Amino acid sequence: MRIDLHCHSTASDGTDTPAELVRNAAAAGLDVVALTDHDTTRGYAEAIAALPEGLTLVTGAELSCRIDGISMHMLAYLFDPAEPALLAERELVRDDRVPRAKGMVAKLGALGVPVTWEQVERIAAGGSVGRPHVATALVELGVVPTVSDAFTEEWLADGGRAFVEKHETDPFEAIRLVKNAGGVCVFAHPAAAKRGRTVPEARIAEMAEAGLDGLEVDHMDHDADARDRLRGLAKDLDLLVTGSSDYHGSRKTVTLGAYTTDPEVYGEITRRATGAFPVPGTGGA
């Protein structure tokens, strides 16, 4: 069983449509794929409609959170997408991404970059708008060669010249909301140091107390030392260990299934979840 529990589609900052994502996941030999767009569940219907036979879809989202001024991402799986409190929080975060992106466009304008909101809006194409869309605009304008190259102090990295904060949820509140909606919480790429400051272990221990289910350990942004340390921490705190690609289509170099999750851990995630069931593919359109 090959299980990839973290993938993005055009519903946020991936480049595969949800239908393309599930087809590509099947073609990559995956048995289980999770759709975890940033702060939205809008891709679910299309992914389910296109789900190939033999592939199972885990519905989810990657929630933007912040603690002690440190941004972090919380993967939420198999929650009830209609549960009102979590839905309201997702919408708050997602909607705030629009004025925030406009703010980054304004800062870029002041820096002499002729990017427009219309350009970013076209690139985002109705998806949950984020820095990768702004970064794609910078690539189109020839300002940087790749999306990753826009994530520097000079441009869009946390605290960078054109960076603007967005509303982000307190992770303890996120855990409470996700649990209340029957979901399971996994701290995404907790040691991705190149993205900025990381959350201290003492805080992760508090999150474990508050109901955090797991840590995403096997991820491209973690080196061997970080993975060893996180595996030890997960053991100490009795947390599940996951691995996943964090696939973004052509906006990142990582491929589907580049990192995977142990089937036993996947089984435990599905046992804990009460908000939704994994969707088995029946060979959709």
Q: Report, in Å, the least distance between residue 187 CB and Zn ion.
A: 12
Taken as a whole, the chain contains a residue count of 285
Q: Binding string, 36-65, against ligand AMP, x = CB under 6 A? A: --x-------------------------x-
Q: Is 13 in the site for Fe ion (CB under 5 A)?
A: yes
The separation between CA 205 and the C-alpha centre of its own chain, rounded to angstroms, equals 22
In whole angstroms, give the CA distance from residue 36 to residue 172: 19
Interface residues for Fe ion in 56-75 (CB under 5 A)?
Answer: 73
Residue 162 CB, nearest approach to ligand AMP (Å):
12
Give the x/- contact pattern for Zn ion in 55-84, rule: CB under 5 A: -------x----------------------
Q: Is 218 in the site for Zn ion (CB under 5 A)?
A: no
Interface with ligand AMP, residue 94, by CB under 6 A: no
Binding partner of 151, given Fe ion, ligand AMP, Zn ion, none, CB within 5-8 angstroms per partner class: ligand AMP
Structure tokens at 234: 């997960």
Which amino acid belongs to residue 152?
T
Closest CB to Zn ion among residues 80, 221: 221
Number of residues located near ligand AMP, criterion CB under 6 A: 12
Neighbours of 76 (CB within 10 A): 28
Residue of 81, 14, 16, 83 whose CA lies nearest to 50: 16
Which one of Zn ion, Fe ion, ligand AMP, none is in contact with 42 (Cβ closer than 5 to 8 A by kind)? none
Cβ-proximal residues to 39 (8 Å cutoff; 6+ apart), any chain: 12, 61, 62, 63, 64, 90, 93, 94, 97, 128
Q: How far is the CB of 284 from ligand AMP (least distance, A)?
A: 27
Phi, psi of 160 (to 5 degrees): -65, 170
Of the candidate residues 19, 61, 188, 269, the single one contacting Fe ion (CB under 5 A)? 188
Backbone φ and ψ for 110, nearest 5 degrees, come out as: -65, -25
Angle between helices 131-140 and 84-110 (to 10 degrees): 30
Query: Of the two residues 195 and 272, which places its CB atom closer to ligand AMP in the complex?
Result: 195
Whether the CB-CB separation of 85 and 94 falls below 8 Å is answered with no
Q: What is the largest CA-CA distance in the chain?
A: 53
246 is a site residue for Zn ion (CB under 5 A): yes
Q: How far is the CB of 113 from Fe ion (least distance, A)?
A: 21
> What are the residues binding ligand AMP (CB under 6 A)?
13, 38, 64, 130-132, 147-148, 151, 195, 248, 252
> What are the residues binding Zn ion (CB under 5 A)?
62, 246
